[in-house]
Amino acid sequence: MSEQAEKWTVGRLLNWTSEFFKNKGIENPLLEAQILLAKAMQIKRIELYTSFSSEPSEQERTTFREFVKRRGAGEPSAYLVGNKEFYSISFEVNSHVLIPRPETEQLVLESLDKLKILADNNCNDNSNSSNTKYFCDVGTGSGAIAVAVAKNYSRILKSLSITAIDISPEALDVAQLNAKSAGVLGNIDFVLSDLFDQIGDKSFDIIASNPPYVSQDEYDNLPVDIKNYEPKIALLAGESGTEVIEKLSAQAYARIKSGGFFLLEISPMIAEKVKQIFIGTGWNNIQILHEGRITCCEK
């Protein structure tokens, strides 16, 4: 009985690690423990539920212990396991790209909603205008927004040209790997560019972006697992947090087609500042959506 009780079964490992993570202040400690143990054992997380009494191999326990040590020190689980689910798609992630957040899925939903509006308007248009619509993801990072839109637009319209921009060549490498894995690599034009600097004279029906919007004060006080591991260039905008948005608002206005939409993920803390920036740029019908996390405007 004593020997059996001392075995490091799946259940015991999860219980111990969950408590350890809880004491470290890590949110969702049991979920994080499950993600790391499943990766160490090279099984799906759901398979852990039927394996509580089984004992992982010594190699699996060694790998898991290293994961737990690094997670306890602050390294995000997504970087440890190398992937993160977003919009029901598995995305490869590393330290060159932000980890996709659930709230960014709202930006994908809004993009698809606006594509439907454009498609419906096109059906009501008696002109010979092209049915192809043009979508741009600025600051694509892991490619989460562009890939999710590419995987889901076909139920809305027949033809969509997608451009994905990033200033980081390493981020674009990750985004292209994710597009290939999702089967949409041929549907997206990846461009190395600081905002629209290298885009030529292209214009778009929808421009969407999750840009840097963290102020210097906010950045200095970010949790360790964000500040010390995720790319600073994708987080810090400057002293006020609106520096990148100011540039992007003006450049997007010059690139958007008449009747097009500009969608932006922001912090609720700067929502009113962003609205004033958009007003100054000339955008119409400015809306703050989803508890201040998304702005939408039209030209």
Q: What is the pLDDT of residues 65-90, one digit of tens each?
A: 999 999 999 999 999 999 999 999 99
Is the pLDDT confidence value at 6 over 60?
yes
Q: Do 20 and 68 form a contact (C-beta atoms < 8 A)?
A: yes
Q: Please state at what angle helix 105-123 crosses helix 144-152, rounded to 10 degrees.
A: 40
- Pinpoint the residues of the chain covered by CATH 3.40.50.150: 89-298
Task: Look at residue 266 in the predicted model and tell me its pLDDT.
Answer: 97
Q: Which of 77, 54, 74, 52 is nearest to 64 (CA)?
A: 77
Counts of helices then strands in the chain (DSSP H, E): 12, 11
Q: Is the pLDDT score of 130 beyond 70?
A: no
Residues of the chain with CATH 1.10.8: 2-73
pLDDT for the residue numbered 128: 46
Q: Is the pLDDT of residue 155 over 70?
A: yes
Predicted local confidence at residue 125, as pLDDT:
61
In one letter, which amino acid is 243? E
Give CA angle at 205 (200, 151), nearest 5°. 100
Q: What is the pLDDT of residue 5?
A: 56
Q: Report the alpha-carbon distance of residue 7 to residue 223 in Å, rounded.
A: 35
CATH number corresponding to 2-73? 1.10.8
Residues in contact with 10: Cβ distance below 8 Å, sequence separation at least 6, in sequence order: 37, 48, 51, 52, 53, 54, 55, 56
Residue 48 neighbours by CB under 8 Å, 6+ apart: 10, 14, 34, 37, 38, 41
pLDDT for the residue numbered 123: 72
Residue 126 has pLDDT above 60, yes or no: no
Residue 140, pLDDT > 50, answer yes
Q: What is the mean pLDDT of residues 166-186?
A: 98
Tell me what pLDDT residue 121 has: 83
Asked whether the predicted pLDDT for residue 3 surpasses 50, the reply is no
CATH topology of domain 89-298: Rossmann fold (3.40.50)
Rounded to two decimals, the pTM is 0.92
Which alpha helices (H) appear in 183-235, and where do they start and end? 216-220, 224-227
Whether the pLDDT of residue 1 is over 80: the answer is no
- Give the per-residue pLDDT at 69: 98
Asked whether 166 and 172 are in contact (CB, 8 A), the reply is: yes
What is the model's pLDDT at position 255? 97
pLDDT tens for residues 199-249?
A: 999 999 999 999 999 999 999 999 999 999 999 999 999 999 999 999 999
pLDDT at 122: 74
In the prediction, which pLDDT does 131 show?
A: 85
